[in-house]
Amino acid sequence: MKTPKLADIRREAAGCTACDLYARATQTVFGEGPPDARMMLIGEQPGDHEDREGHPFVGPAGQLLDRALRDADVDRDDVYVTNAVKHFSWRPAGKVRLHKKPNAAEIRACSPWWRAELAAVRPEIVVLLGATAAQAVLGPKVRVTRDRGTILAIPPIETVATETPALVTIHPSAILRMERADRDEGFAALVRDLEVAADHLNPR
């Protein structure tokens, strides 16, 4: 069975109406990066900046992620970055659109897209950023605090006949929500996890 190309999957995802999130989102925010990337990062969902601009991880959390990747000696241009959910889930707070965690039905409705991306890119390792992404991909039993920083495995899916190594870590937005005194350690822990993923690709 031939795997669709990313460009074809992106075009199809642009018109996705599999859950109600599309009705309030500006656009589908699909993944970006090299089609043959060795590392894939999967987050939860696009935020306000991403929804408006149409690109993943371009807001404050994305800027923090870029810094963590640099400190882990990983070039963002070599990484494929996407989200488990492709539309922005939000609630109004005055004129501000605040992040709202997607529910289980919305996460399930979006699973064909990250699965298609995984099949098209065939990365050597997937980094799962935060609990929503980790549980969407690995199942409800995974726990970020318990499982982070270790190499796990994504079971075979559709056109990916073998297991794909995966690593769970904190979402960069969680660091931004930490008390200021805790942010440096939270950031350092994220960098350490990314270094584990990088070492899996290029053992020292």
- Which pLDDT score is estimated for 76? 95
Evaluate whether residue 185 is within a structural domain.
yes
- Which pLDDT score is estimated for 192? 98
Evaluate whether residue 62 is within a structural domain.
yes
- Which pLDDT score is estimated for 2? 65
Evaluate whether residue 142 is within a structural domain.
yes
Closest CA to 45 of 112, 170, 129, 138: 129
Tell me how many domains the chain contains.
1
Quick one: pLDDT band at residue 203, thresholds 50, 70, 90? confident
Measured in whole angstroms, how far is the alpha carbon of residue 96 from the centre of its chain? Answer: 24
Evaluate whether residue 203 is within a structural domain.
no
| Phi, psi (deg, nearest 5) at residue 160 | -110, 100
Evaluate whether residue 24 is within a structural domain.
yes
Evaluate whether residue 145 is within a structural domain.
yes
Evaluate whether residue 123 is within a structural domain.
yes
Which tens digit of pLDDT belongs to each residue from 39-79? 999 999 999 999 999 999 999 999 999 999 999 999 999 99
| 1 pLDDT higher than 70 | no
Could you tell me the residue range of the domain that residue 93 belongs to? Answer: 6-198
Question: What is the residue-averaged pLDDT of the chain?
Answer: 95
Q: What mean pLDDT comes out for the span 116-145?
A: 96
Evaluate whether residue 169 is within a structural domain.
yes
pTM over 0.75: yes
The angle at the Cα of 70, spanning 40 to 192, to the nearest 5 degrees, equals 75
CATH number assigned to the domain comprising residue 67: 3.40.470.10
Closest CA to 131 of 61, 33, 45: 45
| 88 pLDDT higher than 90 | yes
Which tens digit of pLDDT belongs to each residue from 13-33? 999 999 999 999 999 999 999
Quick one: pLDDT band at residue 161, thresholds 50, 70, 90? confident
